[in-house]
Amino acid sequence: MELVNIVIAEHHKIVRDGIKMILEDVPGIRVTKTVGNKEELLSYSCSEKNMVVILDLDMPDLDKRNTIKKLKEKNSNISILGISDIEDQKQIKHVIVAGVSGYILKKRGKEEIIKAIEVIKNGNQYLCEESIKALVHDNDGDYAFDVEDSSLTYRELEVLELICEEYTNKESADELGISVRTVDAHRRSLLQKTGAKNTAGLVKFAVRNHILSL
C-alpha cells in the first residue's frame, strides 16, 4: 500500500502536535512535515506523491484563496483538507470552491480526520455535516454567497476582490484565467446586484459586507 504523505499546517503547536500524534499511529499515513504559518507552508516543496495538506483555515494573515492556489501550483495532485473552528457559511463555500478537497471542524474527533484523509487521498471530496448544510446553489449551479439583499457567485466575489485591489479588467482576466469580456460581464452583474453606481460603490459594498478589510 502506497503511503499518504501528510503536511500539517496548524497555527497552534498544541493542536499541531495533537494531530501529528493521532496520525502517526495510523497505518498507511506518514507525517512528512509540520508547519506553524503560511510562510513555512509555502516554502515547503510539497512535491511528494499522495500528498494531503491539513490546512488551518484560522491561521493569522492567511489569504485562503491565494494559498490554496499556490499549493495547487506546486503540486496539481495535492489534496487539501481545511480545518477550522468556524462554521461560517461564507468561509466554507469560499474554500470549497477555491479548491480544498475537504472541510471539517476542529471540534470533530480523531475518527473524522482519519476518515476525511482516507476519502480525499483518492481524489474525492469529504465534507463534515456542517459543510454540507452550507452548500446552497443558485439557479446556475454555482455557489451563491448571501450578502445584504444580493447573492454573489464565487466568480463574482473573486472579481469584486480584485476590483478592490485596483486590478484593471485585463489584469483581473489574466489573474483568473478568463477573458476580459467575461470580467466585464461579472462587473456589470456586480453593479446590478449590489446597487452600486461605480467602482467606489463596489468597494463600499465590499467593506460593509466584510469582503474587504481596511
Q: What is the mean pLDDT of each run of 10 residues along the chain (214 residues)?
A: 92 96 95 96 92 96 90 92 87 80 90 93 82 52 49 80 88 91 93 88 79 58
User: Model-level pTM greater than 0.95?
Assistant: no
E strands along the chain, which residues? 4-9, 29-35, 51-56, 79-84, 102-105, 126-127, 144-147, 150-153
Q: What confidence score (pLDDT) does residue 93 get?
A: 74
Give the domain CATH number at 36.
3.40.50.2300
Q: Can you give the residue range of the structural domain that contains 128?
A: 4-134
What is the pLDDT at residue 140?
Answer: 42
Q: Using CA atoms, how far apart are residues 22 and 26, in angstroms rounded to an integer?
A: 7
The CATH number of whichever domain residue 158 belongs to comes to 1.10.10.10
HEC letters along 20-32: HHHHHCCCCEEEE
pLDDT number for residue 205: 83
If asked whether residues 118 and 185 sit together in one domain, one would say no
- Tell me how many domains the chain contains: 2
Residue 109 near residue 96, CB atoms below 8 Å: no
Give the three-state DSSP class for 154.
Answer: helix
